[in-house]
Amino acid sequence: MEAVIGALSAMHWRLLPVLGGLAVLHYLFAAIALRAAAGTTLPLRRTMLTQFTAAAASRFTPGGLGGTAVNIRYLNVHGCSLPTAVMAVSAQHAALWAAEVLVLLIAIAFTHDVQAFRLVTDQAAALWQGITHPGVAVCFAAAVVLIVTALVLMARRTGKRAVLAWFDALRDLAHRPRDLCVLMASSLAVAAVLGLAFGLSVLAVPGTQVSPDHLGVLFGAYIVGSAAGSAVPVPGGIGTAEAAFTGALVAVGIAAVPALQAVLIFRAVTFWAPVPVGIAAVRMAAARPQPV
């Protein structure tokens, strides 16, 4: 740890404002994606601040459930029915997952860095072995049981109408090609911005010996770490994501200390720095819009 702290003075600090700007852009594009999925007019500034609040809630709940609840509540108080709000947030998450894979393929196509494929497959296999470890598997199964139980109880209370309303909302989104295009384009922007931020975090650390030509493998490392943080039921993926990010960078030949430095920078700027903003904007996320 002393080596990590001592090397901070040699970092390329001029990249830090760029990383901060990319973090802000990430929340802007996430807000645009949510508005498109919901198919309703939402104030962009308030929707963006709500993404900060959702991020803060996700830091303290497993699987990002807190952030999901914040966005559903926000849409609900802005006139969306509960099934529509659930559908919109689900579509936002699904579009982001698809966008991450597509951005990785685009990065590999431009850089011809096929090492990213091997990185993703090897780390995915290692992640699967970790998830199937008896201790982790029990925690994961417990989380799944809790979620399924909650869904069953909700279905009993709301009946089939809520499920049918969810499918109706999904069908409505499918019939809004403009909103679908905006949803996918903004999701691609979110994935690209975060992947670029991760790559810049690595470039900011001396000794990583990477160049922009390694963009594909850096995107692959970001996706591996992000998936690990989401797969293991730990609040915010704390510890798990950092280990996965660092392991992915080490797997591509970066020394452990510079890799850990890069991960700490990335997580500090994109993961922890927005939390105070999100906490400050809690009331705005839950407040009902004022009548005009």
Average model confidence (pLDDT) for the chain? 77
Which of 10-19, 53-62, 162-171, 235-244 bottoms out in mean pLDDT, i.e. has the lowest? 235-244
Q: What is the pLDDT of residue 177?
A: 92
Q: What is the pLDDT of residue 120?
A: 58
Q: What is the pLDDT of residue 31?
A: 94
Q: What confidence category does residue 291 fall into, taking pLDDT thresholds of 50, 70 and 90?
A: very low
Per-residue burial over 4-33, b = 16 or more CB atoms within 10 Å of its CB, e = otherwise: eeebeeebeeebbeebeebbbbbbbbbbbb
d(C-alpha 244, C-alpha 263), whole Å: 10
3-class DSSP state of 62 = strand
Q: What confidence category does residue 34 fall into, taking pLDDT thresholds of 50, 70 and 90?
A: very high
Q: What confidence category does residue 105 fall into, taking pLDDT thresholds of 50, 70 and 90?
A: confident
Q: What is the pLDDT of residue 231?
A: 61
Q: pTM above the 0.85 mark?
A: no
Quick: pLDDT tens for 199-217: 888 888 877 777 666 667 7
Backbone dihedral region of 254: left (phi > 0), alpha (psi from -120 to 50 degrees) or beta?
beta
d(C-alpha 232, C-alpha 226), whole Å: 11
Instruction: Decide if pLDDT at 60 tops 90.
Output: no
148 CB burial (10 A radius; 0-12, 13-18, 19+): exposed
